[in-house]
Amino acid sequence: MSSRPTTSVSSLATLDQILAHQSYLLALDPSPSPLHQEDIPTQLDQDLFEALAGNPPQDQYRPHLARWYRQLQTFSGEERRNFPAVPNVTLDRLVDIFNKMALIVRNLQEYLGEDRIDEVLKTRDLKIYWGTATTGKPHIAYFVPMSKLADFLNAGCEVTILFADLHAYLDNMKAPWELLKLRTEYYEHAIKGMLESIGVPLEKLKFVRGTEYQLSKEYTLDVYRLASLVTEHDARKAGAEVVKQVQHPLLSGLLYPGLQALDEHYLGCDAQFGGVDQRKIFTYAEKYLPALGFAKRAHIMNPMVPGLTGAKMSSSEEDSKIDLLDTPAAVKKKLKKAFCEPGNVTDNGILSFCKYVIFPVLLNGRDFVIERKPENGGNSNFSQYEELHEAFAAEQVHPADLKGAVENYLNQLLAPIRKKFDTPDLKALTEKAYPPPAKVKPGKGAATAGGTDDIVPSRLEIKIGKIVEVSKHPDAEALYIEKIDLGEAVPRTIVSGLVNFVPLEEMQDRLVVVLCNLKPAKLKGIESRGMVLCASRDEPKEVEPLAAPVGSEPGDKVFVEGYEDTQPDEQLNPKKKVWEKLAVDLKTSSDGKAQWQSNNLMTSKGGIVSMKVMGAPIK
C-alpha cells in the first residue's frame, strides 16, 4: 500500500474532475473481452478512501467525489484491502498526470492517441516535437503553436523544435537551396524571439535542423524503405493540405509526408504537434511507421487561426497577416482593414487570436481590457475569453474597440521581437534571407519564367468587378452590355453572352470575376475590354459567373495559389495564345472551387467559387 496521500483542496478538486468521467480513480478493465468494458477500483481508491475517513466529501462541493465515496462504502474493509495494486502510480502522481494532461490538451482542435499519452505520463514526462518548414517569414499566427509549446513546457514535457529546411525545399522548391541556410537562421532567431516574448525559458527547449540528420545513410535508407510501401495515392492524399497541389506533382512533394513521419522516429518523440491542416500526414505516419517496425506516435493538433481577411493566415498573402517585424503603424493599418464583422464570431481572426494567444499566454489570468472614453461607455474588463466572445456575439463590443485593444496587446508581444532584430547583423540577415522580389517589366510574364514566354497563370490579370450598369445588346439577343467597376478611374465596358443564363435583375450590382488584360475586341459593334469568367458546361448546357468571396470590393486582385508574387502581362498577345493555353487547365472542382491545375483561384478575402456548376471548364 502506498503512503498516505495529501488531500489538499486543489488535489480534491482535480480528483473530482477525474471522477466526472469514470467510476473509479483509474480506468482499469480486468477483462480481456471487448464485450465487457467496466473499470474496477484499485488500491488508489482504497488509499484515498482512508485519507478521507471522518471527513467525507459533500455533494454541493465535490459531487463526483461524493458519489465515488458512497460507492466505496458499499465494499467491506477486507474487499477494499484486496483491491488490485497499481505499480508506479500514486494518488499524488495521478493528480500530477491529470493536471499535466489538462495543460497538454487545452485549446487544441484534436488529438489522436490519448491512451499512448496516458501510458507515457504514468512513468515519465512526454517528449514532443514541433516542426516548421523554413519558407515564408513567420507571422503572428505562429504565436498559436508557441502558446502550446509554453503549455507543453509547463506540463514538464521535453520539447524539440525542428527547423525543417529540407522540407522547405521539397515543397515545390518554396525556398531555393542557396537561401535555405539563411532562412533557417532567420527562423531560429524569430522563433526564439517569439518564445522570449511570451516568457518561455529557452533552456528547456531543444532546437534541431532537419539536414543535421536527414542526409545520413540510415535516414536515406529508411526513406527508400518507406517509398517501397507507400502508394502514390496515399502520399498525395497525406500532403493535400500542406504541400502545394498541382495536376502533375513533383516527386519531392510526394516524399514530403514520409520524411515528416520518419522525423518522429529519428527525433525520439512520443507525440508530434502541428496544425490541424497536417492531420492527413499524422494519420499517414500512424499507418506506415509500424510497417517499418517503428512505434506509432500520438498526434496533437492546434486549430488554424483565420487571417485578417477571414481566410487562413498565410505568409503569401500580405493583407491576411501581420509580420513579426511590422511597425506599430503597420499593425494599426492592417487591423483597421481587417475583416471583423459585428457579431460574427465564426470567421474572425482577431477574436481567435484573443482566444489562443492573448488570454492564455500574454494575460495569463489578468483581465482583457477594452479602453473607451466615458462618453462611449467607459472601459470594459473581461476575465475570461468566453465573456468577450459572448459580448462580441451580442454586439456589446464594437469591432473598432476590439481592434484597438488587440492592437495594444499585439504591440506588447511584438516589441521584444522588433528590438531583437534591430541590430546590424539581424537586419542584414533579414535582407539576405528575404531579398525583395526582382522587378519584372509588364508583359514579360512570371519571374520564374526569366522573362520568357512561359505559360503560367501569373500572366493573367484577373480582378473582382462590380456591374454598375447592364443592358441587352441592341443587335444581339444573347448578349449583355455591362459597365463594370474594376477599381479603375472609370468603369469598363464588357460584353457577355449571359442573357440566356442570368436574368437582367441578377446582373445589376453583381460582383463578378473579370479577366482584364485581353486585347480589346468588338462584339456586334461594341468594344469589349475584358471577359467575365464563368463556369460553363455544354451537356447539359449550364453557364454561371464565378462568385467572389464575401467582403470583396471592386479591384481586388485574383491570383492562383503558388503564382501570386509576380506581375501580369500588360496585355496578352493574341498571337501567342496565352489565354487559350492556360484556359485548358482552368476548371471548377467537384465542390465548386475555381482552380488552375488543382491550385485555387484566390483573393485576399478568400477563394473564388461556382455555386452551381461543379466540375466544369472556366471560360
CATH number at 118 reads: 3.40.50.620
Q: What was the pLDDT predicted at 246?
A: 62
Q: Is the Cβ–Cβ distance between 334 and 317 less than 8 Å?
A: no
pLDDT at 298 over 50: yes
Please tell me whether residues 73 and 133 are part of one structural domain.
no
Please tell me whether residues 349 and 422 are part of one structural domain.
yes
Q: How confident is the model at residue 9 (pLDDT cuts 50, 70, 90)?
A: low
- Out of 92, 114, 136, a domain closes at 92
pLDDT tens profile 65-89 = 999 999 999 999 999 999 998 887 8
pLDDT tens profile 353-382 = 999 889 988 888 899 999 988 888 889 999
Q: What are the grid coordinates assigned to 357, written together?
A: 494567444
Q: What was the pLDDT predicted at 32?
A: 44
CATH number at 405 reads: 1.10.240.10
- Domain assignment present for residue 133? The answer is yes
Please tell me whether residues 178 and 232 are part of one structural domain.
yes
Of 26-35, 219-228, 520-529, 553-562, the range with the highest mean pLDDT is 219-228
- Domain assignment present for residue 505? The answer is no
Q: Provide the H-helix boundaries in 422-551.
A: 424-433, 504-507
Q: What is the 3-state secondary structure (H, E, C) of 566-605?
A: CCCCCCCCHHHCHHHHHHCCEEECCCCEEEECCEEEEECC
Q: What was the pLDDT predicted at 172?
A: 57
Among the listed ranges 85-89, 295-299, 329-333, 555-559, which one has the minimum average pLDDT value?
A: 85-89
Amino acid identity of residue 407, one-letter, is E
- pLDDT > 90 in the chain, percent: 58
CA distance 289 to 270: 13
Please tell me whether residues 170 and 293 are part of one structural domain.
yes
CATH number at 578 reads: 2.40.50.140
Please tell me whether residues 162 and 208 are part of one structural domain.
yes
Burial class (CB within 10 angstroms; exposed 0-12, middle 13-18, buried 19+) of 431: exposed
Closest CA to 317 of 590, 617, 4, 600: 600
Q: What was the pLDDT predicted at 404?
A: 94
Mean pLDDT, rounded, of the chain? 87
CA distance 342 to 50: 56
Please tell me whether residues 274 and 380 are part of one structural domain.
no
pLDDT at 128 over 60: yes
Please tell me whether residues 279 and 396 are part of one structural domain.
no
pLDDT at 31 over 50: no
pLDDT tens profile 520-576 = 998 888 899 999 999 998 888 899 999 999 889 999 999 998 787 678 888 998 888
Read off the pTM.
0.67
Range of the domain at 554: 453-463+510-607
- In sequence order, what are the beta bridge partners of 558? 462
- Domain assignment present for residue 87? The answer is yes
Burial class (CB within 10 angstroms; exposed 0-12, middle 13-18, buried 19+) of 519: exposed
Q: What was the pLDDT predicted at 448?
A: 39
Please tell me whether residues 263 and 338 are part of one structural domain.
no
CA distance 260 to 276: 15
- Domain assignment present for residue 489? The answer is no
Q: What was the pLDDT predicted at 499?
A: 93
Q: What was the pLDDT predicted at 545?
A: 96
pLDDT at 320 over 80: no
Please tell me whether residues 167 and 296 are part of one structural domain.
yes
Query: Within 10 A of 346 (CB to CB), how many other CB atoms are there?
Result: 11
Q: What was the pLDDT predicted at 160?
A: 97
CA distance 491 to 508: 14
Q: Which residue has the cell 502550446?
A: 148
Among the listed ranges 51-55, 233-237, 389-393, which one has the minimum average pLDDT value?
A: 51-55
Q: What was the pLDDT predicted at 442?
A: 46
pLDDT tens profile 576-606 = 889 998 999 899 998 899 999 888 999 988 8
Closest CA to 532 of 556, 564, 510: 510
- Out of 68, 92, 116, a domain closes at 92
Q: How confident is the model at residue 7 (pLDDT cuts 50, 70, 90)?
A: low
Q: What was the pLDDT predicted at 135?
A: 85
- Domain assignment present for residue 3? The answer is no
pLDDT at 451 over 50: no
Q: What was the pLDDT predicted at 365?
A: 86
pLDDT tens profile 175-192 = 677 888 899 999 999 999
Among the listed ranges 94-98, 234-238, 267-271, 447-451, which one has the minimum average pLDDT value?
A: 447-451
pLDDT at 157 over 60: yes
CA distance 398 to 382: 14
At 464 the three-state DSSP class reads strand
Give how far Cα 253 sits from Cα of 180, 224, 245, 599, Å.
17, 15, 9, 14
Please tell me whether residues 267 and 398 are part of one structural domain.
no
Amino acid identity of residue 39, one-letter, is D
- Domain assignment present for residue 614? The answer is no
Domain count, the chain: 4
pLDDT at 13 over 90: no
Please tell me whether residues 418 and 562 are part of one structural domain.
no
Segment 466-471 mean pLDDT: 95
Please tell me whether residues 197 and 290 are part of one structural domain.
yes
pLDDT at 4 over 60: no
- Domain assignment present for residue 468? The answer is no
Q: What is the 3-state secondary structure (H, E, C) of 59-124?
A: CCCCHHHHHHHHHHHCCCHHHHHCCCCCCCCCHHHHHHHHHHHHHHHCCCCEEECHHHHHHHHCCC
Burial class (CB within 10 angstroms; exposed 0-12, middle 13-18, buried 19+) of 369: middle
CA distance 544 to 523: 20
pLDDT at 444 over 60: no
pLDDT at 36 over 50: no
Q: What was the pLDDT predicted at 67?
A: 94
Among the listed ranges 111-120, 211-220, 245-254, 395-404, which one has the minimum average pLDDT value?
A: 245-254
pLDDT at 219 over 50: yes
- Domain assignment present for residue 327? The answer is yes
Q: Which residue has the cell 463578378?
A: 512
